[in-house]
Structure 1
Amino acid sequence: MSLILYGHEFSSYTWKALIPLWANDTPFEFRSVERHGPEFAALAPFGQFPLLVDDGRVIAESSIIIEHLDRHHPGPNRWIPEGDEGLRVRFLDRVFDQRIMDTAQPAVANALRPPEHKDPYGLEQAMQRLRRNYDWLEGQLAGDGWAAGETFTMADCAAAPALFYADWVDPIGPNRPKLAAYRARLLAHPAVSRAVEQARPFRHYFPLGAPDRD
């Protein structure tokens, strides 16, 4: 058995794949795209990371990587439960990827644009959507535990990097105490904390400036 994960230490979706690997103590080799760029490019179907290679088989997309691990390299933590609980986990996985992480991305992209190509209207529209999505999550989350209950699942693997970076873009704030507390619980999880620390040397890549509080 040989698992190789290609990604970048600062990448949110790379974190999402690293967290379950670390949490289950799954043996694998991490290859940074900064050091293995051509090798990664020859394998990646869309030029995007993370990318998992399992004995020569290429698996793309972070959610599919986690499902592959759950099926073929199970450990003490199961990432996608059976039945309706599994549907809830998959739904929240999509919420954190698409409604939080992807909705925060326009702020980063706008910061990288030259002044003549800034899009303040598009940015404000995206931030309004992000705040609405924060509010929805505030109403969905319990006061303790994880996204879909008492078990840490794929939904939490998605939530950790999404909320980590989204809060840098537009702070969750004190008016969403359950969401803020959930983010704090995520950052205290050993696998998430490891991802945060591994990425710390790359914080200068963040164009909006990385806060010192995390």
Structure 2
Amino acid sequence: MSLVLYGHEFSSYTWKALIPLWANDTPFEFRSVEQHGEEFAGLTPFGQFPLLVDDGEVVAESSIIIEHLDRRHPGPNRWIPDGDAGLRARFFDRIFDLRVMNNAAVPVTDSLRPEGQRDPFGIEQAMTRLRRTYDWLEGALPDDGWAVGAPFTIADCAAAPALFYADWVEPIGPARPKLAAYRARLLAHPAVSRAVEQARSFRHYFPLGAPDRD
């Protein structure tokens, strides 16, 4: 077996793929695009990371990478539970990617635009959507444990980087104690903590200025 994951240490979606690999102690090699950019460029179909190469088979998109690991390289943690719990895990995976991470990325991307091409209206729309998602999560998450209950699933792999960075952009705040507590539990998970520490030296890359916390 030969597993190679290409990505960047500071990338949220790279974290999402690293967390299940580390949590299951799956043997793999991590190749940062900082050092392996040309190699990565010759493999990626879309120019985006993370990218998993499994004995020559290229697997793109973080959610699909996790499903691939669940099927081809199973470990003690099942990332996609059976039955209705699996549907709920996939649903939360989409919520954290599309409604948390993608909205939180809008002001970050906007800050990289040239002067005169920025979109404050688009940022406010994205933050409104993000706050609405925070409020929904406050009511939808369990009081303790993980997104779908006891097992740590694909939903939590998506939630950890999404909530880590989203809270930098739009703080969750004390009015959403359940969501804030869930974020804190995620950051205490050994695989998530490892991702946070591995990325720490790259915080100067955050264009809005990384807060002095976490």
Task: Report the TM-score, using the length of structure 1 for normalisation.
Answer: 0.99
Q: What are the ranges of 5 or more consecutive residues in structure 1 without an aligned counterpart?
A: none
Classify the secondary structure of the residue corresponding to 1:97.
helix
> After the TM superposition, which of the residue ranges 188-197 and 76-85 deviates more from structure 2?
76-85
Residues 51-82 of structure 1: per-residue CA shift (max 9 Å, x gap): 00000000000000000000010111110001
Partner of 2:117: 117
What secondary structure does 1:34 align onto?
Answer: helix
1:6 counterpart SS class: strand
Taking only the aligned residue pairs, the percentage that are identical comes to 81
> Could you list the runs of 5+ residues in structure 2 that have no partner in the other structure?
none
2:147 maps to 147
Does 2:184 match 1:195?
A: no
Structure-1 separation of matches of 2:54 and 2:118: 41
Between the aligned partners of 2:14 and 2:134, the Cα distance in structure 1 is: 23
Q: State the alpha-carbon separation in 2 of the partners of residues 46 and 84 from structure 1.
A: 32
**Does residue 1:206 correspond to 2:180, yes or no?**
no
Structure 2 distance, partners of 1:35, 1:159, is: 28
Partner of 1:186: 186
Q: CA RMSD in A?
A: 0.6
Aligned to 1:164: 164
Give structure 1 regions of 4+ aligned residues with deviation exceeding 6 angstroms.
none
User: Are positions 1:108 and 2:103 aligned together?
Assistant: no
Matched, 1:131 2:131: yes
Structure 1 residue 114, shift from structure 2 partner:
2.0
**C-alpha distance in structure 2 between counterparts of 1:203 and 1:130, whole Å:** 22
How many residues in Structure 1 have an aligned counterpart in Structure 2?
A: 214
Q: Secondary structure at the match of 2:131?
A: helix
Aligned equivalents of 1:109 and 1:18: distance in 2? 23
CA distance in 1 between partners of 2:195 and 2:187 (Å):
9
Question: Counterpart in 2 of 1:18?
Answer: 18
Q: Please give the secondary structure, in 2, of the residue aligned with 1:36.
A: helix
Q: Normalising by structure 2, what TM-score?
A: 0.99
Q: Which residue of the partner structure matches residue 7 of structure 1?
A: 7
